[in-house]
Each structure stands twice: as C-alpha cells, then as structure tokens.
Structure 1
Amino acid sequence: MKFRFRLRRQIFATTLGLTLISVSSLPVSASEFSDSYSAYLQAVTDNDDEQARKLAEQTYRLGQAKFDKGSINLANLAFNYAGELADIAEQHVQANNLYLEVLASYRVEFGNEAIELIDPLVGAAQTSSSAKKAKAFFYEALELTEEADNKLVHADMLEATFDHLNRTDQYNRTVRDFMFEAHDIYKDELPEGALKRVTSAFTVASINFVEKKNTEETILLLEEVVKQFSVLDYNHPYELRAHAYLVDLYEREGESSKSTQHCIAIGSMRPWLGDQEQVPLYRHSPNYPKSYARKGKEGWVQLSFTIDESGFVTDPKIIDSKGGSRFETESLKVIQKWRYAPKFVNGKSVAAPSTVQLDYTMAKSR
C-alpha cells in the first residue's frame, strides 16, 4: 500500500504525490539529469512501475553527482527511489536505508516536529526488518498527524499503524484500539457509503468476531458492510467475508432464519463448478464420546447428505466409518447443525449433494 503517497496528497498537495526537485541550482547544460527526472515523472504518470523504478534509481545516481550529500534535493530523490523500491519485499533493506537517509536530511532541514517527516517515517516503518523499530517510527508519525489539524490524515495513520503492527509481535491492546479510533473518525468525517468508512467497519467487526466480543455491535457493523457493498456491480472480498461472519454469529445466537439469507447470498456470489465440493460456512464441532476418549479410541466417519436451497443439511447418511457406532451417532447429530452456501444454477439456489469426513483423534502427549 503506497500510504506515503496518500498522505502527501492530503497534506502537501504535491502533483502525483512525488517530491519535486528544484533544478534552478543546476547549470542549463545538465540536460541528462533533467531528461532523466522528466522521464521518471512520465513513467509514474503512465503507471509503468518497472520503468519508474529504473528511472528513479538513475535520477538518484545522477543527483549524487550534482547535489551535496545531505542536501534536500538529494533527499527528495532518495525519497522517490525508496518509494519505488518499497513495494518489492526483496528490496526493503535498500528502501529502508534510503528512507533513513531522507529522514536525517529532513530533520536538519525542517526540524523534528515538521509534518514533512511523516512520509519518510511511514516508509521507514513499512520497510523495517524490525517490528520494534517500525513501531517507533509509526508512533512518531502518529504524534505528528495528531498535531496536523487533519482528522482524516490522523485516521489514515492510525489504520496504517494497526495494519502493519497487527501482524507482528508488537501487536497489543493499544495498537488494536488504533483501528477502533480510526473507524470513529471515519464515521464522523465521511459519508455513510464512503469506502474507507465501510472497510474500517469490516476490520473493527473482524476484531470483535475473533475476540468473540460485542456480538450485537459486530452484527450491526457487518450488516452495514453488506448493505453498502451490495450496491456495487462486482463482489468485493469483504462482502463475502461479512456474509460468512454473519452466518456464524447468527448461528451462535440460535437465529438460523437470519443466517439463511447470508448463506444464500454467499452461494450466489461463488463461482460454483458442477463438480466442486461445497464449503461449510458454519461448523459445530462434534463431541468426542467420553467412553471412547477414556480408552484412547480413535476413528472417522464419512457422511453423505443434501444441502438444500437455504444452506441447511438434510438427509444425512453414513457412507463408511471406523472406530465404533458412537462416532456415527455423534456425526449424524452434529452435521445437521452445519450451514452451507447453497449451490446456484441459472441464478437460483438449488439442493445439491455433498460429502464430508469427520475425524476423531486424540491429542498426542509429548
């Protein structure tokens, strides 16, 4: 995600989100640099990523011969080159070194509390190999956006910090709450159908879903996500997942009738193939027979059944089994609690057969 570009547009309104270079200090004969920089800008305009990366490096190397080390012009060239490398995981070390170079120059030029530091701080955070260092960069950027008198910019930074750190060992309650704070700002500052507001609602709902907290609020958020995405002329991945979460939540609450509409919605969204096995949306785990567990008895049960037009399991039958009749009894009982996305044919949900195997195994002690 080129978060640095979005911030720069909002704060500095720089054309294309690129750092502009002052060439007034260069002799008119320095056409090689000017041509290279102009070609770079054109490559960005044309969305030619490969050419943009090549020209960003070329212009930066030419700039090293033209500008003093530590100068703001060279820092700006380094920033552009780092931005082109940042989207390639294998180039993160080099990109990070460039962002650190930019930061050092910007601190001298603008001071430690300048908003100009925000973009290179985010770049350094997103390309750092250390989650701890990334967190420090993000937190410094958050302090700056909080003082920038632009709530949406601050919300973007809160979201970017959460998005990066929630996949690291630096994730904690504070980072979690950044996403909730960002969503609150989006609700206040953006209209109901704004994509950023809807996607942040989905993220907050997902956190609640995983933590199994605030079920009522989570359902309301997910229903809003479904409502907003339903008007699109394509299926957004968040819409599919929101329906799946709602199936699970309504089943947990014992409201199968409400989960049905979401089962059907998912079925209509999936590119079902004639021979494709259907995937359950809600699964209730079988109870392990206590007498079998005491004896360490293991086994499996294969079942066939029909998934009706509403995604309910009907007419379950045992195909084969191993381990004993109590595994069969428990399997028949639990499979009827599962919910599926029904299969669609010519735009209508239809009943379709399916099979599954339930395995009963004991955890191995070490």
Structure 2
Amino acid sequence: MNIFQHRRNKSAPFLLLFYCCTLIYFTFAASYSFGQSTLEIDDFNAAYLQYGETKNSEPEIAREAARRAYELGKELFGARSERSAMLAINYATLIADESASQSFLDEAVEIYQTVFGFGSEAMIDPLMRLGRTLNDQEKEVLARQYYRRALQLAETHLGPDSSKVGSIEIELGAISLRVGELTEAWESIQEAKIILSKYTDAGSQSGLTRIELLAGEYFLARNEYQNAIEPLLNSLAKFERYPGSNVAVRNRIALINAYENSGQQDLATIQCVAIGETRRVSENENLRPVYRARSEELNIHGIAGGVQIEFLVDKEGFVRNPRLVSSLTNSALGRNLLDLIQKFRFAPRFIDGTVVDSPNQTYTFD
C-alpha cells in the first residue's frame, strides 16, 4: 500500500521530500511541531524509498526497509495517525509468518477505528483496502478475515442487499476459488450476482462481468469445461474492449482451457491468436504456454535441471517438431514428454502486425 508515488531522480533528492509532503499530507510545520529534525525526515524517506523499490523483487530487503519506515513513521506522524496504519500494513504484508504479521494488522485496524470510529460505516472501505492488499500478497486467510469484517459492517449500515455487500461477496468468492474452496466460492458468487443484478450503475455492472469470469473459472476448477464456456464468453464480450489488459488475457486463457478440454481446438486457436496479437513479444524472446496439457503418469522428479525440449511454435500457436535437448536414459519418458508438449498451446508471435512462426522455442519440464 503506497503512501506516495515517486520517480527515480538521483540528481534531485529533494523531490522525494516534495512527494512526501504533497501526497501524504506531511509538512515541515507538522514535523517541527513534533520536534523532528531534517535528518529524521531524510531517514524515513530513504527507508520508504528502499521499500518501494524492492518490495516486488527483494522481499528480505524490502521487509527490513518497511520495518524502519514503520518505526520512523510512527515518530514522525504519531502512533495514532492513519499514515502510521498504512506503514504498519506495508510491513505486515511482507512478514511471511501470518501469525507474526497479525499484531501489526490489528494495530492498523485499531488506528482506523480511532480515526473513523469503532464499528462505523467509514470503517468499511479501510477494511476492504486491507483485505485487497493482503489478497494481492497471497495472504488469503488474513484477507478473508478483513473482508468478512467489512461485510458485517456493510450489512449493518447499508443493508444486506446493498451494492457494497455484493462487491465484498465477489472478493470473498474470488479468494475461496483461489484456495480451492469451491462450495464457498459458488455461494459467494451467486449471492453477489443476486444482489448486483438489482443495480444499474457502472460499478455494479462491472461487478456482474467479473462474476461471469469467476463462474467460468469455477466450472474449470470442477472440470466442467462445457459449462465454463458461456460465462467466459459473456465476460469476454465486455473485457475485449480492453484487448491488451491482464483481465482480458486471463479471460482468453480460461477459454482456451475450456475449448482444449472439450475438443474444440479451432475455437481455442482464435483465442491464442487474439492474445498474440495484443502481446508485444520481441523476436528473440522465448514464448510461454497459454495452455499446459496435464499428465498424471509422468514422473520427472529427481532429474537434475528438469527435461528441456526445443520446438517451433506455428502461426496458430501449435507446437511443431519437438526434440529433446536434455539427455535421458528413460526413452519411454522422453517419448511421453514429446507427445505431451505437442498438446500445449501458445500465443503466436506477431512482428510488425504479421503473425509468424517462432522456431527454437524451449520449455523445461521440472
């Protein structure tokens, strides 16, 4: 959860302080009122900048930077400041042990309750933001905990049929689907659909589109491939207005899965080509599969480095002419892997708007 946005500019370090002042409502006057020095402000800025630059690439460094920013921020902003709550959440989401991170999350919620009022309607959005942040960090158990607290408040203050309740049910359904709790996922998805169908505003309509995507993914998780197709087509009809967006690509990949597993390869090809057309892949970049066929019989555990296969991806995203790169003593395993890779699908490469074959592609089974 970012407090301020920044751009790298080594020649002008004072810009960092400017962003901090502007976007998190921190001023020199406020800092002096707490008796803080410019050095302490600089220390906070340095820690927060390091956290922002490393949180997605070097989690251990980011965690230590977030801890320093949290401790310094409490001194600068006050222990009961909303900004201190944000810093506590940043640190908590980088702690691998969920039980250890819980105390920092509870601290953040206590601060929010002080700011907005215990059990108030104003607490709903902060709890939802906290749930979203935790979900983005794949901390589903904690995320669901805070979404459920937001749901209780929304039902109390806004009513059980409010659009806010519907939106929270979508989030709970998505989390349940991700962790494989399919019954709970379906109940939340259907409850959200019943509620949001009563509204015509843009947010509710967008939620209904997302429900269609989640419903399709639910059927895929149950291996009900034919049932998955209709809701996935319904959601794609809206998402394809933004063809290069992550959600549109996710939707198409789900459709490829459904089509491949229901014997409709020609329809899968349409989606493969559509993804390739919107993706900017360099001429020398190795393509990644958008559909991986599965085989429960293959066992490649214990093979150091895995088994690498080289092949050509044609203009429709099919694998052609696969060959083993790795040396194998088990010839039967090699043949099975060659058969399996030919069932994979790729988004073909486009160069200057024209689809082309992609030779010398590799994939490693490990």
SS class of match (1:216): helix
The runs of 5 or more residues in structure 2 that have no matched partner are 3-18, 34-77, 93-103
Look up the SS of the partner of 1:281 in the other structure: strand
Shift of 1:344: 0.9
**Counterpart-to-counterpart distance in 2, 1:191 and 1:136:** 24
SS in 2 for 1:321: coil
Go from structure 1 to structure 2 and tell me whether the alpha carbon gap of 1:120 and 1:144 turns closer, same or farther (over 3 Å shift).
Answer: farther
Which residue does the alignment assign to 1:156? 167
The corresponding residue for 1:75 is none
- Number of aligned pairs? 286
Summarize deviations over 1:286-332 as a string: whole Å, max 9, x none. Answer: 5657xx99xx9968654332211111112233445311322232223
Superposition pairs for residues 25-174 of structure 1, below 5 Å?
Answer: 51-55=22-26, 81-82=81-82, 85-86=85-86, 89-90=90-91, 93=105, 94-102=107-115, 105=117, 115=121, 118-119=124-125, 122=128, 131=142, 134=146, 137-144=149-156, 147=159, 151-162=162-173, 173-174=183-184
Superposition pairs for residues 212-361 of structure 1, below 5 Å?
212-232=222-242, 235-286=244-295, 288=297, 301-356=307-362, 359=365
- Cα offsets for 1:318-354 (capped at 9, x unmatched): 4453113222322232222121111111212111113
Hey, what's the Cα distance between the residues in 2 that align with 1:195 and 1:163?
Answer: 15
Per-residue Cα deviation, 1:208-247 (whole angstroms, up to 9, x for no partner) = 43x2254334222222222222223x62110011111111
Confirm whether residue 189 of structure 1 aligns to residue 199 of structure 2.
yes
Distance in 1, matches of 2:297 and 2:129, equals: 51
- 8 Å Cα contact 1:56-1:81 kept in structure 2: no
- More deviation, 246-255/50-59: 50-59
Which shifted more, 260-269 or 320-329?
320-329
What is aligned with 2:38? Answer: none
Q: Judge conservation of contact 1:57–1:81 (CA < 8 Å) in 2.
A: no
Matched residue of 2:24: which SS? helix
Shift of 1:276: 0.6
- Greater shift after overlay, 93-102 or 123-132? 123-132
Matched-pair identity in %: 19
Distance 1:183 1:102, change over 3 A: same
Counterpart contact for 2:314–2:358, Cα < 8 Å: yes
- The question of whether the paired residues in 2 share the 8 Å contact of 1:205 and 1:218 is answered with yes
1:69 alignment counterpart: none
RCO higher in 1 or 2 (8 Å CA, sep ≥ 6)?
Answer: 1
CA deviation map 1:109-137 (0-9, x unaligned): xxxxx756645665787799993863662
Return the alpha-carbon distance in structure 2 between the equivalents of residues 224 and 133 of structure 1: 31
| CA gap 1:83/1:266 in 2 versus in 1, 3 angstroms | same
Alpha-carbon contact 2:310-2:360 (below 8 Å) kept:
yes
Query: Are 1:301 and 1:327, in contact at CA under 8 Å, matched by a contact in 2?
Result: no
Could you tell me whether the CA contact under 8 Å between 2:20 and 2:26 is conserved in 1? no
Aligned residue number for residue 9 of structure 2: none
Q: 1:190 to 1:248 in 2, by over 3 A?
A: same
Q: Is the 8 A contact 2:123 2:150 kept in 1?
A: no
Q: Which runs of 5+ in 1 are unaligned?
A: 3-47, 63-77, 108-113, 361-366
SS of the equivalent of 1:311 reads coil
Query: Counterpart of 2:351 in structure 1: which amino acid?
Result: V
Distance 1:287 1:175 in 2: 26
Looking at structure 2, the residues matched to 239 and 351 of structure 1 have their Cα atoms a distance apart, in angstroms, of 24
Q: Residue 333 and residue 198 in structure 1: after superposition, are their counterparts in 2 closer, same or farther (change >3 A)?
A: same
- TM-score norm. by structure 2 comes to 0.61
The offset of 1:155, in angstroms, is: 1.2
Which residue is 1:205 aligned to? 216
Quick one: structure 1 residues 247 and 163, their matched pair in 2 at CA, closer, same or farther if it must change by over 3 Å?
closer
Partner amino acid, structure 1, of 2:146 = A
Q: State the alpha-carbon separation in 1 of the partners of residues 20 and 193 from structure 2.
A: 32
